[in-house]
Structure 1
Amino acid sequence: MKASITGNQKNRGRPKTGERSHVAARVTDEEMRLIDAWAASHGITRAEAIRRLIAKGLEADKK
């Protein structure tokens, strides 16, 4: 019987960036429309809009 292969094996899948955690959330069509409109009005992507809106909500909670 041959020994199993060790060392120099390829890693599978997308490499980790190590920068941020992935968060998934379900939103209604209306909420997505509002997020997309807010993003467009600020000239940013949907993902960046969601990050900024979360930050705004957290900051408002501190007050």
Structure 2
Amino acid sequence: MAKSTRVNTKTPKKRAPITGDLVGVRIQPEMAKELDDWRRKQDDLPGRPEAIRRLVELGLKAKK
């Protein structure tokens, strides 16, 4: 019987060079849907934590 091979097509996630502070956030379902809709429009489909980091960064830049 031949052994089956498993191909890992997932790309490894890049870890930040410095560990930051952990911030836990709860969001309501309506906001989660908006967040997921925004994520899907991005070229690299970031996970929710990365999407939140990007949106916070955009918000902080817009404030300046």
Q: TM-score range by the shorter chain?
A: 0.5 to 0.7
> Which residue pairs with 2:9 in the alignment?
none
- TM-score (structure 1 length as normaliser): 0.63
AA of the residue aligned to 2:48? R
> Unpaired runs of 5+ in structure 1?
1-17
Which has the larger helix fraction?
Answer: 1
Residues 26-57 of structure 1 show CA distances to partners (whole Å, capped at 9, x for unaligned) of 22110011111111211211111000000001
> Which residue pairs with 2:15 in the alignment?
none
Give the fraction of aligned pairs with identical amino acids, expressed as a percent: 36
Name segments (4+ residues, structure 1) moved above 3 Å: none
> Which residue pairs with 1:46 in the alignment?
48
Quote the Cα distance in structure 2 between the aligned partners of 1:41 and 1:59.
20
- Answer with 1 or 2: which has the greater Rg: 1
Q: Any idea what SS the aligned residue of 2:41 has?
A: helix
> Which residue pairs with 1:30 in the alignment?
30
Taking only aligned residues, the RMSD between alpha carbons, in angstroms, comes to 1.2
> Unpaired runs of 5+ in structure 2?
1-17
- TM-score (structure 2 length as normaliser): 0.62
